[in-house]
Each structure stands twice: as structure tokens, then as C-alpha cells.
């Protein structure tokens, strides 16, 4: 588990749901008001090839995959898309 700060308070983030590479030359790659909550886990957005939440695909402005609390919705969407593809191939 990792300790993070959210609105000035410490928050525990489970390790498999959060990763931050503050040594990266591009960190943070998007403007995010709370760099303590900025996750690099989905550095390359897994939603890019799918219909993501941003219908206009303004990826430069999108921080959705970099917010630790969005881990579950992203994994759920990927799971649904995977199951759809599996049904098409069988």
C-alpha cells in the first residue's frame, strides 16, 4: 500500500491500483491539481482504442486514467469490451 495525499489528508492507495513514476522526464504528463493522486499505472491509456468517456477524444486534456480512484471503472470497461470480443470470435 502507498500513502498519498488527497485534499491535504493522507489516503491509503492499494499498490496494484496505483503507480507513480515521479522520476519520469514527462511527470506529470497532464496538468493535474493533485500530483499526490496522479497515477502513472495507465501511462498509455487503455481506453484509447475503445469508446472512452471523452467522446471528443481530447486526450491531452484527459486525466481520467491517471486518477487512482478510476482504476475499478477502467478495469470494468476493459472487462466488458474483452467479453464482447470473446463472444464475437466464438
**pLDDT for res 3:** 47
How much of the chain, in percent, has pLDDT values that exceed 90? 4
Burial class for 32, CB neighbours closer than 10 Å (0-12, 13-18, 19+): middle
**pLDDT for res 21:** 85
**pLDDT for res 30:** 74
Cα–Cα distances in Å, from 47 out to 1, 2, 8?
Answer: 25, 25, 30
Series of mean pLDDT values for 10-residue runs along the chain (90 residues): 50 71 83 74 82 70 84 90 76
Cα–Cα distances in Å, from 74 out to 29, 46, 50, 68, 81?
Answer: 19, 8, 11, 10, 11
Amino acid at each position: 500500500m502507498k500513502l498519498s495525499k488527497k485534499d491535504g489528508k493522507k489516503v491509503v492507495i492499494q499498490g496494484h491500483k496505483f503507480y507513480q513514476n515521479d522520476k519520469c522526464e514527462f511527470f506529470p504528463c497532464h496538468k493535474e491539481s493533485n500530483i499526490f493522486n496522479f497515477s502513472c499505472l495507465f501511462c498509455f491509456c487503455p481506453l484509447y482504442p475503445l469508446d472512452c468517456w471523452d467522446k471528443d477524444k481530447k486526450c491531452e486534456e484527459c486525466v481520467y486514467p491517471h486518477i487512482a480512484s478510476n482504476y475499478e471503472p477502467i478495469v470494468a470497461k476493459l472487462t466488458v469490451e474483452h467479453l464482447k470480443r470473446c463472444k464475437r470470435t466464438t
